[in-house]
């Protein structure tokens, strides 16, 4: 029978952990990547441990894709929960080869293979592991070890993948090397992932939904871009505030090396190597890279000036304002942030509801999800 509503992950974990009080409730779709984001010590790992059943807080609830894992009368032990868990440090069996490590938790019987089961060859290809299979984990780099740990978790055929700061033990270069692999997993697998991080860069690259935490509590839950552009939340007022869009490639101009990308409420021109029409790319537009004009700019080197409407304005400090824009001539597209001086705001006589042109000085384009730049 077909489910009436899309499958979701419902969690409400309440209780004391030593001197720390956790009171975190959220519902997110059981699809895509949900980022669990917040400062160090706010309770992210504790939530993950509760989801895994490694921490039992009586009186809490947890339901994943319609299956109750915890309520007043149920508490599934960790080994009965269909989860994969990837930790900060990959703990591989040193005496086994990479291949044996990968197969360690894989189900033995093929009798009841699920339709959405991920195959060995697919995991090897997605994570670029083919040349490592006969090696010992002792001779792998930190990034390679982590890719093997992710592969092993996937091959256990989980219904939910939990990742606890999987990149935080790696240096910047290695992180940048692994992120495209995670983006490929995201694009190709339907497995829901809860991804804990305190690094906004990882969240911006990977997350579809966000659970924003602070001091053991959930501050907000929703689609990434919605929370990024909410002026009442800390992300929007941060100095490096930005909004991410999932964009579709419309065309490529070989003369100028420019991609035309369709986003909700407009089109962007972005310098890039060629990409195929229909490919999905994630773009990031920083609030500090957006300026506003009353008229369409005629003589300007800026590639992107999109019609938009001012949805709201909030002061930041004494001399700046944070403007939330909705893209499109009717202002019914995606939300964008602009950080302006209060002087510019006053000089242009801007106000909520006014139609403007959002001039975008820079658009950061994540590497393609096929792993190429
Ligand atoms: N079993 C426990 N007993 C006592 N205190 C605990 C226990 N588990 C967690 N804590 C405390 O709860 C708080 C939240 O820890 P948690 O690891 O969940 O935070 P976090 O957001 O994941 O932090 P980080 O980003 O630094 O990993 C910390 O103060 C921690 O010391």
Which amino acid residue places its CA nearest to atom 18 of ligand 1?
43
Binding site membership of 56 for ligand 1 (Cβ less than 6 Å): no
Residue 348: which of 330, 327, 321, 329 has the closest Cα? 321
Binding site membership of 73 for ligand 1 (Cβ less than 6 Å): no
Q: What is the pLDDT of residues 213-246, one digit of tens each?
A: 999 999 999 999 999 999 999 999 999 999 999 9
Residue 317 confidence (pLDDT) = 87
Total residues found in the chain within this entry = 373
Indicate if 244-293+300-365 has the same CATH topology as 8-224: no
Which amino acid residue places its CA nearest to atom 16 of ligand 1?
43
Binding site membership of 104 for ligand 1 (Cβ less than 6 Å): no
Please give the number of the atom of ligand 1 that sits closest to the Cα of 49.
Answer: 18
CA distances from 90 to 178, 185, 199, 279, 298 (A): 14, 18, 19, 32, 54
Helix (H, G, I), strand (E, B) or coil at 130: helix
Band (308; pLDDT cuts 50, 70, 90): very high
Q: Is the dihedral of CA 147, 149, 152, 156 positive or negative?
A: negative
Residues of the chain above pLDDT 70, percent:
94
Binding site membership of 111 for ligand 1 (Cβ less than 6 Å): no
CB atoms inside a 10 Å sphere around CB 41: 12
Q: What is the pLDDT of residues 23-79, one digit of tens each?
A: 999 999 999 999 999 999 999 999 999 999 999 999 999 999 999 999 999 999 999
Residue 83, strand partner residues? 160
Which 8-state DSSP code applies to residue 1? Answer: -
Whole-number Å distance, alpha carbon 57 to ligand 1 midpoint, is: 14
Average pLDDT of every residue of the chain: 92
Q: How far is CA 51 from the centre of its chain?
A: 19
Fold (CATH) for 244-293+300-365: OB fold (Dihydrolipoamide Acetyltransferase, E2P) (2.40.50)
Which CATH code for domain 8-224?
3.40.50.300
Binding site membership of 44 for ligand 1 (Cβ less than 6 Å): yes
Residue 302 confidence (pLDDT) = 87
Domain positions in the chain are 8-224, 244-293+300-365
CB atoms inside a 10 Å sphere around CB 4: 5
Whole-number Å distance, alpha carbon 28 to ligand 1 midpoint, is: 22
Binding site membership of 43 for ligand 1 (Cβ less than 6 Å): yes
Query: Tokens 């670029």 appear where?
Result: 128
Residue 115 confidence (pLDDT) = 65
For this complex, say whether ipTM is above 0.85: yes
CA 255/CA 257 separation, integer angstroms: 6
Band (373; pLDDT cuts 50, 70, 90): very low
């Amino acid at each position: 029978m077909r489910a009436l509503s899309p499958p979701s992950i419902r969690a409400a974990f309440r209780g004391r952990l030593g001197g720390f009080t956790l009171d975190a409730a959220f519902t997110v779709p059981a699809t895509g990547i949900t980022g669990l984001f917040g400062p160090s010590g706010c309770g992210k790992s504790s939530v993950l441990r509760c989801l895994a059943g490694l921490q039992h807080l009586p009186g809490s609830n947890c339901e994943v894709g319609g299956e109750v894992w915890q309520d007043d009368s149920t508490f599934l032990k960790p080994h009965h929960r269909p989860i994969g868990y990837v930790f900060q440090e990959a703990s591989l069996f040193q005496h086994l080869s990479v291949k044996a490590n990968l197969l360690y938790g894989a189900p033995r019987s093929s009798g009841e293979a699920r339709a959405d089961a991920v195959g060995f060859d697919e995991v090897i290809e997605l994570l670029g592991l083919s040349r490592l299979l006969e090696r010992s984990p002792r001779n792998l780099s930190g990034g390679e070890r982590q890719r093997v740990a992710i592969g092993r978790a996937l091959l256990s055929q989980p219904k939910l993948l939990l990742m606890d700061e999987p990149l935080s033990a790696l240096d910047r270069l290695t992180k940048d090397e692994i992120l495209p692999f995670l983006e490929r997993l995201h694009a190709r697998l339907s497995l829901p992932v809860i991804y804990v991080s305190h690094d906004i860069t990882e969240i911006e690259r990977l997350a579809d939904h966000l659970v924003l935490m602070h001091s053991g509590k959930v501050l907000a839950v929703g689609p990434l871009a919605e929370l990024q552009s909410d002026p009442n939340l800390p992300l929007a007022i941060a100095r490096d505030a930005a909004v991410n869009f999932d964009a579709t490639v419309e065309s490529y101009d070989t003369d100028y090396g420019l991609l035309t990308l369709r986003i909700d409420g407009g089109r962007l021109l972005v310098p890039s190597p060629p990409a195929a029409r229909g490919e999905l790319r994630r773009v990031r537009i920083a609030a500090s890279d957006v300026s506003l004009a009353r008229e369409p700019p005629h003589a300007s080197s800026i590639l992107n000036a999109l019609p938009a409407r001012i949805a709201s304005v909030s002061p930041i400090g004494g001399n700046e304002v944070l403007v939330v824009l909705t893209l499109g001539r009717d202002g019914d597209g995606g939300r964008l942030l602009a950080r302006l001086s209060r002087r510019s705001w006053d000089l242009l006589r801007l106000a909520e509801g006014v139609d403007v042109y959002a001039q975008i000085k820079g658009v950061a384009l994540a590497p393609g999800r096929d792993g190429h730049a």
